[in-house]
Amino acid sequence: MTAITQISELVSIIRQQLVAGGRVRAPAKRDNKLVASKGASPKLLDAVVVRARALQSDDPHRNRKAFRIFLEATLAAELGEELLNDAAFQELVDKVHEQMGLDPSIREVMEKAGASLTTK
């Protein structure tokens, strides 16, 4: 199973849980330009890079925080940007981020991705 397939399945599971809990409506016809399967919009990617590069350069957790910004944007693009201000969504992002970091091979990829977001 590829990483993209795993991410798609994870997003699907999260979406099902959010729909079941009444937090989001079931997706109808998806024409959202930010859907992860179609690729994130340049505007969204630019916002992620700007936020990531704004992190303090001497922060020892900078790359981890940068990846969390990316993860948050990716999930919001897939599940709906209206969730960004929802505290439960932020908790969800934290839990997914934490869970991903428990796997050493995924943690290494997260670190590299975070570093690439913060490098000018």
Are 108 and 67 a contacting pair, CB within 8 Å? no
Are 66 and 50 a contacting pair, CB within 8 Å? no
Give the other-Cβ count within 10 Å of 7's Cβ. 16
Which pLDDT score is estimated for 90?
A: 95
How many structural domains is the chain composed of? 1
Cα angle, residue 93 at apex, residues 22 and 35 outer, rounded to 5°: 70
Which pLDDT score is estimated for 31?
A: 43
Q: Is the pLDDT of residue 5 over 60?
A: no
Q: Is the pLDDT of residue 83 over 70?
A: yes
Q: What confidence category does residue 8 fall into, taking pLDDT thresholds of 50, 70 and 90?
A: low
Q: In which domain, by residue range, is 102 found?
A: 3-118
